[in-house]
Structure 1
């Protein structure tokens, strides 16, 4: 009888669920998914949770394979030498292979008053805490959203559509990922909703008080409720466990998503830093990375060489309230192009994408191995960047040696 292999997946988000489901392709693999919540958080709908149009959760029975054991707990330490993880509840779980998919959360703003008076919404719990704050505020209350990436734009539009007086503070450019044509479209929709967009030089927030936001250029904006959407960070589990991480705490891996310290540990999603060239934190990257991480583990179990990362992007979807949205198309290496679809069609496309995410996970749960988007041809630009970095490192090494000689 073939020996059984135990695989532990830490994190039940997009990457972790995809990896866990895919690992059940082999009958001799036992998969345990460890997650602190009993429900799957559909993170791309958190702005809807804040606005009250969706609860942003999905029952794990809809997206998780029957052979995956769900353990509701948190991991506080990884013992790579002993091949086990310590749980917050006090127990331990052993593994033969570990998939590190802990995701990301709100970054410390490092701005005076922000931790006390601003409300982050990168996680389900944060979004839930914001809802009663908004409910208690009068309709005329000044709401300031800090950060003009996708999350900030979506939150601002969602609340403005409800009739809230919303100011969006960009800290620079509105929607920096967007093409200038897409940016004009988003700006037009926000204006139609009554959102005041504060962008350009000097719009970085340097202080938050109970009832105001102060900008670097000296302006003070009234704010009864301040929502903070700028920046993401990852949990410190890998670093606290003695594993190699990048400056943000993402687990450093090679192009097969294998930890640079231990071939029994692979990473996926926002918490992975392959070849020190991490991908944009997004659902669009997380699910393919989860599939690739699972394939790496399965290849090692089979005694085969894992395939390298092959990641491509299609663009970016942004909700602009319930009645409009934008689908910004992009080159495969994640650079926006001039073409986009907006308005009601854009909203329908965004909703289709949100539903297709759950469908991809559910399909992989029912038929492990069916997902194939991580195998779409592409990645030439990434290979060029890797080669350029490798050449730069080779050139720098002799120079460093001369300085230390």
Structure 2
């Protein structure tokens, strides 16, 4: 390994694993993956872990290239000047290039009592704790799921299918990403499963207690187990390290996914904010972003100019228990369209996608460079139009509000 260029990938989720595997395309690279857990978390199955139909864990040996070194530790600081990554337990790691793929998790809830009495689901440890809590609760215990994005909908459906008394508090509309027609299909299936959906302007949680959830209209919903799925946040490693971030804490990059502060740092997945116009946090975007980030590093090592980011195929697939779901199609701008697939067919599509993700990672481990979804034709032009519209909007706001002080 002596004399090889060292690339450190921070984060061993979907983006981190695919980027690490792809980097093995060059034999003169030493690739190290830093992750706080010894196993790969199949995050899109965490709601199934809570429901008891899957453990949401895959061994790294099944998805990670053999010549990628795995370091089980947590990164605490990136020293870009010294090109060194500080770890919580182990010795610091020097690097020549770094891929920032730290992922995302539940945003810290600001509602009184939520941090104390509500249970998150976005990490393996949190999902396992919640599973134990549900197993200890009586089958008739009222369960309230707060947040009606994909995670909230899937969790509510999974538990209701087991006969649990579930209320889904939307904090607004059900499935805000979905087209109106898709939303109606989801509402119909949730009703068939017995889920009580509380939506509208008053469906905002103002407080959580040990046995209830209080809404903005003053109602108290009985809740022996409250599950919090509202909002996502990203780790603060970039900000802590003095790197530029957007307001959500994602690493600010250019259109090649290179940090605006350091061309030896690239970002991938949920924690990337290219040109301040990030893609939707999802596995669907994490894999193409990871491939693009790895390609940026490989291009620089080859003395070539990295390519600009492209927009790819967009959709959202949500399971509604084990036997139903919805596959919502979207435009290149990631706006939901009228067409969707529902019912058992959508459930089969969702399972095909979930089962296929580890296979995609394993394929990239066996044949680095084989992943190509980030190179779909037409995406570059669409991305440029989105950026032009975004910049025009920023300029209009600047004219109204005046220059920053």
Query: Where on the TM-score scale, by shorter chain, does this alignment land: which range?
Result: over 0.9
Per-residue Cα deviation, 1:10-35 (whole angstroms, up to 9, x for no partner): 00000000100000000101100000
> Does residue 15 in structure 1 map to residue 15 in structure 2?
yes
Q: CA deviation at 1:382?
A: 2.9
Compared CA separation, residues 228 and 294, structure 1 to 2 (3 A): same
Compared CA separation, residues 400 and 108, structure 1 to 2 (3 A): closer
C-alpha separation in 2, matches of 1:398 and 1:199: 37
Does the CA contact (< 8 Å) of 1:272 and 1:278 recur in 2? yes
Does the CA contact (< 8 Å) of 2:333 and 2:386 recur in 1? no
> Does residue 126 in structure 1 map to residue 126 in structure 2?
yes
Residue equivalent to 2:220: 220
Compared CA separation, residues 229 and 403, structure 1 to 2 (3 A): closer
Q: CA deviation at 1:402?
A: 8.1
Compared CA separation, residues 144 and 402, structure 1 to 2 (3 A): closer
* RMSD, aligned α-carbons: 1.8
Does the CA contact (< 8 Å) of 2:249 and 2:271 recur in 1? yes
Q: CA deviation at 1:390?
A: 3.4
Residue equivalent to 2:25: 25
Residue equivalent to 2:384: 383
C-alpha separation in 1, matches of 2:308 and 2:205: 40
Give the secondary structure class of the aligned counterpart of 2:7: strand
5+ long unaligned stretches in structure 2: none
Compared CA separation, residues 329 and 388, structure 1 to 2 (3 A): closer
Does the CA contact (< 8 Å) of 2:73 and 2:90 recur in 1? no
Give the secondary structure class of the aligned counterpart of 1:138: coil
Does the CA contact (< 8 Å) of 1:312 and 1:333 recur in 2? no
Q: CA deviation at 1:331?
A: 1.2
Q: CA deviation at 1:392?
A: 5.2
Give the secondary structure class of the aligned counterpart of 2:340: strand
Residue equivalent to 1:339: 339
Compared CA separation, residues 111 and 398, structure 1 to 2 (3 A): closer
Does the CA contact (< 8 Å) of 2:83 and 2:94 recur in 1? yes
Q: CA deviation at 1:403?
A: 9.2
> Does residue 5 in structure 1 map to residue 5 in structure 2?
yes
Residue correspondences, number:
404
Give the secondary structure class of the aligned counterpart of 2:186: helix
Residue equivalent to 1:86: 86
Per-residue Cα deviation, 1:172-215 (whole angstroms, up to 9, x for no partner): 00001111111111111100000000001111101000000000
C-alpha separation in 2, matches of 1:199 and 1:391: 34
Does the CA contact (< 8 Å) of 2:11 and 2:100 recur in 1? yes
Alignment of 1:291-370 (within 5 A): 291-370=291-370
Q: CA deviation at 1:399?
A: 8.8
C-alpha separation in 2, matches of 1:295 and 1:99: 11
TM-score w.r.t. the length of structure 1 is 0.96
C-alpha separation in 1, matches of 2:216 and 2:265: 43
C-alpha separation in 1, matches of 2:391 and 2:73: 40
Does the CA contact (< 8 Å) of 2:311 and 2:382 recur in 1? no
Give the secondary structure class of the aligned counterpart of 1:20: helix
5+ long unaligned stretches in structure 1: none
Give the secondary structure class of the aligned counterpart of 1:384: helix
TM-score w.r.t. the length of structure 2 is 0.96
Give the secondary structure class of the aligned counterpart of 1:294: helix
Residue equivalent to 1:105: 105
Compared CA separation, residues 44 and 402, structure 1 to 2 (3 A): closer
Compared CA separation, residues 361 and 391, structure 1 to 2 (3 A): same
C-alpha separation in 1, matches of 2:378 and 2:13: 25
C-alpha separation in 2, matches of 1:269 and 1:335: 19
> Does residue 47 in structure 1 map to residue 18 in structure 2?
no
Give the secondary structure class of the aligned counterpart of 1:359: helix
